Amino acid sequence: MEAPSRRWWVCGVLLLATLLNYMDRQALPQTATELKERYALDDARYGWVEAVFSWAFAAGSVLFGLVADRVGPRRLYPVVLVGWSAAGLATPLLADPGVTGWLEGPDDDPGVGPFRWLLVCRGVLGLFEAGHWPCALITVRLILTAKDRPLGNGLLQSGATAGAVLVPVYMFVLRQVGGGWELVFWTVGAVGLLWVPLWLTLVRPGDLTARPVADAGAGPAIPAGAVVRMVAALVVVVVGLNVSWQFLRAWLPKYLKESRGFAPDEADGAVIAYYLAADIGCLLSGLLVRRLVGRGFGVHPARVVGYAAFAAVAAAAALVPVAGDRWAGVGLLVLAGAGVLGLHPYYYALVQDLPARHTGVFAGGLAAAAWFAAGAVQKELGRHIGATGSYDAGLVIAGLAPLAGLVALVILWPRPSATTG
């Protein structure tokens, strides 16, 4: 992939893949209140659905991390796109008693069949969506230098917010024309299938099998002890980020509608503002590193400074429970979104500093730890919210969890001279 401009076009296609990934993922949170009313999807069951998605994502992270290192992202990407798109297309079958009737018995509580179908579909979705991240991180690692990776990762991650913004906008349009919730799943799943020929056309055979783009001043191989410390720090970082981001992603629409009394259109507007701010934070985090490096900072110190700044912004979520005015709470959530998502490009860049031959394995293993933790938190918070009606504990956890990653980076990360990044 010789042309620099073509590398950034590939980053744009990665952005589109992330957009589709999140549109399929966010279709459920945006329709959860409606499904709660129609199919008895109460908060405890919803927490279980999110837990199953998280645990399937963890398993898929390990599986596809191993496969990505062996076969490469060019061939693996189409498989995972088709897999998660098919799961999205199948989800509306929960409304068909002929399908869900096979999953329930005569003595089961109302809604058990649709609930179990949703567990299956979200499990398959999580499994295949996990393959996106090792593929994307390997691609960025191969085509961009260490200085440019935070920006490339920011473009990649910004697709998450673009997808999350498009879903409530699409829902608003559907409500105006009388469309049902099923259309969200069907259309997003169908569009996802169109990404595959785009990827295969832009990325030619052999493009992603060459050595990574060389970094000026790259050092020797990383000592095993340094790798252990890096991985230990990254476990803390990614668990904190994932617990924070996934709680807000999954529960924000329900929180606004069911706890703060927002009408559906108001809630959708607030969600859109949240994700737009997250997108801005995601892009600014990469630009901040480039600016600091341009002023004489080393790449790693620039990342740590940026991480500290965005972790402080993310902590705004912990203040939401004490915000008396509901729109003040939305303002704090908007800030938190910019902070939490702005931290993700730093995490991806740090993963890409690990030994390049095993990027998929490292990325998959770290993601598995993060998603197992997030699944456990989602299940317990779903139970807590169902019993108390309060989201306060989740908001405090979401705001403060990323700070643990900052501490880990300061204490555990080896001196930059000990790594190749």
Note the pLDDT of residue 306.
93
Pull the structure tokens for residue 214.
């060389």
- Asked whether residue 33 carries a pLDDT value surpassing 90, the answer given is no
> What is the distance, to the nearest Å, from the Cα of residue 63 to the centroid of all Cα atoms in its chain?
18
Q: Say if pTM beats, i.e. exceeds, 0.95.
A: no
Q: Average of pLDDT values for 267-288?
A: 88
Q: What is the largest CA-CA distance in the chain?
A: 70
Averaged pLDDT, 67-77: 91
Confidence band, pLDDT 50/70/90 cuts, at residue 209? low
Picking from 265, 38, 246, 13, the residue whose alpha carbon sits closest to that of residue 152 is 13
pLDDT digits (tens, 9 = 90+) for 127-138: 999 999 889 888
| pLDDT tens-digit series, residues 214-243 | 444 444 577 888 999 999 999 999 999 999
The fraction of the chain above a pLDDT of 70, given in percent, is 95
Percent of the chain topping pLDDT 90: 44
On whether the CB atoms of residues 378 and 242 are closer than 8 A, the answer is no
End-to-end CA distance of the chain: 21
* Residue 236 confidence (pLDDT): 96
What single-letter DSSP state applies at residue 316? G
Please tell me the distance from the alpha carbon of residue 225 to that of residue 188, in angstroms, as a whole number: 45
What average pLDDT does the segment 279-307 reach?
88
pLDDT surpassing 90 at residue 4: no
Q: How far apart are CA 62 and CA 120, in angstroms?
A: 19
> Residue 277: CB partners within 8 Å, gap ≥ 6?
334, 335, 337, 338
Quickly count: other Cβ atoms within 10 Å of residue 235's Cβ.
18
72, two tokens: 């490469």
d(CA 28, CA 26): 5
DSSP labels, 121-183: HHHHHHHHHTTHHHHHHHHHHHHS-TTTHHHHHHHHHHHHHHHHHHHHHHHHHHHHHT--THH
- Beta-strand ranges (E) seen in 317-392 are none
Give the CA distances from residue 210 to residues 2, 134, 143, in Å, rounded to whole numbers and listed in that order: 11, 17, 9
User: What is the rounded distance in angstroms from the CA atom of residue 309 to the CA atom of residue 382?
Assistant: 30
Are 118 and 49 a contacting pair, CB within 8 Å? yes
Domains of the chain: 4-418 (1.20.1250.20)
Q: Look at 7-21, 300-314, 398-412 and tell me which has the smallest mean pLDDT.
A: 7-21
pLDDT at 421 over 50: no
What is residue 420's predicted lDDT score, i.e. its pLDDT?
45
